[in-house]
Amino acid sequence: MYHYMTVSELAQRIKKREVSAEETTRSFIERIEELDEKVGAYITVEKDRALKTARDIDKKLKQGCELSPLAGIPMALKDNICTENIRTTCASKTLEDFVPPYSADVYERLEKAGCITLGKTNMDEFAMGSSTESSAFKVTRNPWDDSSIPGDSSGGSAAAVAAGMAAFALGTDTGGSIRQPTALCGVVGMKPTYGRVSRYGVVAYASSLDQVGPITRDVKDCALVLNHICGHDRRDSTSMVVAAPDFQAGLEEGIRGMRIGIPSEYFGKGIEQGVRDRVTEAIGVLEDLGAECEEVSLPHTIYALSAYYIISSAEASSNMARYDGIRYGYRAKDYSDLLDMYIKTRSEGFGAEVKRRIMLGTYALSSGNYDAYYKKAQKVRTLIKADFDSVFEDYDLIVCPTSSLVVIRSGEKTNDPLQKILPNVNTVPANIAGLPALSVPCGFLGNLPVGMQFIGKPFAESTLLRAAYAYQQNTGFHKMHPQV
């Protein structure tokens, strides 16, 4: 009965001791035991640890301790977020038995706030993929339709929240990996500004693009979780020293007079007509609420996927170099010498998608190709960012579809990597430009949810949240749940 409550509602009940943290946690664990065979959201479930932590929280509540609003809230973490003493696999054979000796900054913060870790969720191997199907361990189904994919690459986290198997979750987003699956699973997901949330202890994919963010049932929860995961961390040199406001504070201020840019390039070729229709309707709602919506242009958008492909693969190939079978992770059993051990270890440990990205990235960085590919992509990155800077001189935020496609069947298109990445055409630019972006449910196409994306100025998460909250309060899509 608690499965579809928001974090805010659950927190109230736990605080007033209408329900204990242990009862809440137990009910989520039972839900996982009942449904996850079908959904496949979790790689690891930490039942005993979760119940023990919940009892500790209950004890503190009984003693009258002042606890954080997240105390006793059961959450799920994408399996690339290091959790001390809990296996962290990145859905790869390479890290199948890896138990981190330390925790990610975001996990430390949430643990300190009293959150209960239910388990670690499925993902594309090392977050590289477009459907959560490159996981070495299992397939995750979309809770709305088990023949559809849950989106990439935080698919397990999004599916867990959508199916009521966690009150909220954390994901990571390199090219849309939070927003894409939350759009397809009908929940709320935010990629904060690059530098807003520490990446310490989050297994690196493409270091100049990666960012951690919340996956929640509604916008208010998104703000609440963001409050607890952001802040400067000296262990991440890209963590910015920047004031973190209370993201819940201005939520109800409304959007009258807010200036919203609607980029024509994000509604063009390749965007499913039904997606265009739902988002256009949603923009009508924003206008009814007093926002001024006008068409704008981000002309370099058409180059974003190419720039993303090169930058992300290049950085991935360099990050993946650490998996050599020496200090941790998988090591091949049969080899002739050190070099052969590296080669066998990596060839046996990585799946096809990871190998493809390493190959592409190595090629783009290799002697003779660096300027033509990597440096060129970084220059185009400058132009893509400049497009945004120019629009943000006149507008507060940008609104567009999140995923360009909604109906993506399991197993479909798996042989053409270019086709696979196309649904992310509207999500990668925010990573390239480091901007905050949020996806909220804005209707359905058949039985599948459609997501609308808000993109904001650097460190203007509050504006995004305020606009998305106003939209959500005047529609009801975030209150709809799948029949799992």
Would you tell me how many other CB atoms lie within 10 Å of the CB of residue 294? 11
- The interface region with another protein, picked from 11-19, 50-58, 280-288, 319-327 by CB under 8 A, is 319-327
The size of the interface with another protein (CB under 8 A), counted in residues, is 68
Distance CA(248)–CA(270), nearest Å, equals: 35
Does 377 bind another protein (CB under 8 A)? Our answer is yes
* Residue 5 vs 460, nearer CB to another protein: 460
261 binds another protein (CB under 8 A): no
Q: Is 137 exposed, middle or buried (0-12, 13-18, 19+ CB in 10 A)?
A: middle
Residue 191 binding another protein, by CB under 8 A: no
437: closest CA among 247, 191, 158, 251? 191
Cα–Cα distances (Å) from 236 to 44, 122, 198, 431, in that order, read 27, 25, 6, 18
Q: With contacts defined by CB under 8 A, name the span among 8-16, 40-48, 162-170, 323-331 that binds another protein.
A: 323-331
Q: Is residue 362 near another protein by the rule CB under 8 A? A: yes
| 480 interacts with another protein by CB under 8 A | no
- Part in contact with another protein (CB under 8 A); list of ranges 93-101, 135-143, 159-167, 211-219: 93-101
Cα(4)–Cα(164) distance, rounded to whole angstroms? 5
Catalytic residues: 78, 153, 177
Nearer to another protein, 116 or 358 (CB): 358
Q: What is the residue type of 42?
A: Y
Contact residue for another protein among 297, 382, 447, 474 (CB under 8 A): 382
DSSP assignment string, 400-438: EES-S-S--BTTTTTT-HHHHHGGGTTTHHHHHTT--EE
Q: Which residues contact 470 (CB under 8 A, 6 or more apart)?
A: 254, 255, 286, 289
Residues 421/152, Cβ–Cβ less than 8 Å: no
- CB of 128 within 8 A of CB of 176? no
Instruction: Determine the interface stretch with another protein among 28-36, 114-122, 257-265, 411-419 (rule: CB under 8 A).
Output: 411-419
Report if residue 208 touches another protein, rule: CB under 8 A: yes
Give the number of residues written for the chain. 484
* Min CB(336)–another protein separation in Å: 9
Q: Which of 288, 416, 446, 483 binds another protein (CB under 8 A)?
A: 416
- Give the contact letters, 428-447, x = binds to another protein (CB under 8 A), - = no: -----xx-------------
Please give the residue ranges that form the binding site for another protein (CB under 8 A): 97-99, 101-102, 194-195, 207-208, 234, 237-238, 240, 300, 302-303, 305-307, 309-310, 317, 321, 324-331, 335, 337-339, 341-344, 346-347, 350, 352, 355-356, 358-360, 362-363, 366, 373, 375-383, 385, 416-418, 433-434, 458
